[in-house]
Structure 1
């Protein structure tokens, strides 16, 4: 399976899969088994329910961080899968979410089922160096298959006691993480939302987890900050395209309100320092 990359700040590369799909450049309408392209809309206006699963919607919201989620079943089988609809939610405390469509059989994806059954899961940063392994774990395996082994990935156990699972046979195990990933989150399941969907994709399950532990490799830090030039995270674009993030630029917002600046930066330390200052001010005012 080959890939190529263009040399630019936010470079793109594409995996070439043995799949034949209609051209995604136009609004695609289907009638039975016949595909037709709607070319009479110069601004490319179309209704989402009339387009194929490979339509422009996902290609518009780019780049999307990848939810490379690892779980462990009650039977002790490790699972690892990438989800292109993933993001963080707030920061104090931090939450993350990933969305997974039901299988064609209308059953849950292994990641969702395991996260709900055990109450825990981990997130692993998908990077340029690990791109082939990320792609390999996107294949649909049966629940009895260990994707870490299939992709040739070394594991490391999660460290927090909350992520220790008692298996069906009584043995205790921890959720595995991708050892070579420079950043990992340990998460506890908070809730799952189910969004109705059209066939053949079916409903989507949005899993939300609270992040209770974060692991960061010292080698990806520059002056105490995570450096994307060292992590080179990959992200999903439309179709089979990915992006590799190699550069960033800084642009502080034109806001004088310190609390808003702290919130936009996502600084937990700054947020709590402001709360301390507020409490001290209230005490000084005799409140």
Structure 2
């Protein structure tokens, strides 16, 4: 080790042969993506099925896709058997969802909603969370979450039916809940929001160590 980095990276950064994606298994690619594309924000998504039963699940393949129109993007993967997540199934039945930003105080509850419950079981109840309305949406929001984006789905792009294939959800924001302690109408106060990010495996990261760079003109 030299300066905290593995010796090969310091001595010769060009010494690795390129890897061809088609030669890697889906599991290997997942571990590479989740470890290297990090930290990732987490979309905590509520939805309902055709019977009106609520579902709540976290997704770390998530970001902003557009500002005008306001569109958020998240991608539920098929599971290891090639089956769709409950959220994906629900959005096929009703094109509404609410994307929450959980924050560190709700990290335990957020993690609890990733449990493999049976379809139709209520993750709100499982995680001890309170349901609240948001605008005219039928989907409930998490009352304890300080930021929530109520959305109508514009499009879902499927990347196939193999295990770990993604379904990219493009969700247009139509109504917003933002706690005044977090957002003053112009700035988001990170000390109040306490956002967390996803790393690989069981690891998360806090947004407690920051630095600033002025953008060049």
With normalisation by structure 2, the TM-score equals 0.83
1:117 aligns with 2:93: yes
- Pairwise mapping of residues 141-156 of structure 1 onto structure 2 (< 5 A)? 141-156=117-132
Paired residues for 1:68-83 under 5 Å: 68-83=44-59
Secondary structure at 1:230's aligned position in 2?
helix
Gap change, CA 1:202 and 1:222, over 3 Å in 2 = closer
Aligned to 2:109, the other structure's residue is in SS state: helix
* 1:66 aligned onto 2:42: yes
Find the aligned partners of 1:61 and 1:197 in 2 and give their Cα distance.
23
- 2:158 is aligned with 1:194: yes
Aligned length: 201
Q: 1:212 to 1:248 in 2, by over 3 A?
A: farther
CA gap 1:139/1:45 in 2 versus in 1, 3 angstroms: farther
CA distance in 1, matches of 2:189, 2:209: 9
Q: Which among 141, 148, 151 is matched to residue 184 of structure 1? A: 148
Q: Which has the higher strand share?
A: 1
Aligned Cα RMSD in Å?
Answer: 2.2
Match of 2:166 among 200, 204, 216: 204
Alpha-carbon shift at residue 139 of structure 1 (Å): 1.2
Question: Match for residue 116 of structure 2?
Answer: 140
Q: Cα offset for 1:105? A: 4.5
- State the Cα deviation string for residues 207-232 of structure 1 (Å, max 9, x = none): 11101111110112468411112111
What per-residue deviation string (whole Å, max 9, x for no partner) do you get for residues 244-276 of structure 1?
112544434223xxxxxxxxxxxxxxxxxxxxx
Structure 1 pair 93–247 and aligned structure 2 pair: CA distance change class (3 A): farther
Task: Give the Cα separation in 2 of the matches to 1:221 and 1:210.
Answer: 20
Q: Gapped runs of 5+ residues in structure 1?
A: 1-40, 164-173, 256-287
Cα distance change on mapping 1:60 and 1:105 into 2, 3 Å: closer
Alignment gaps of 5+ in structure 2: 1-13
Query: Which residue of 1 is the match for residue 3 of structure 2?
Result: none
Question: Does the CA-based 8 Å contact 1:94-1:211 persist in structure 2?
Answer: yes
In structure 2, what is the Cα distance between the partners aligned to 1:202 and 1:183?
A: 29
| Inter-partner Cα distance in structure 2 for 1:206 and 1:67 | 13
Aligned residues of 2:49 and 2:120 also touching (Cα < 8 A): no
Would you identify which runs of 4 or more consecutive aligned residues in structure 1 move more than 6 Å? none
Equivalent in the alignment of 1:50:
24
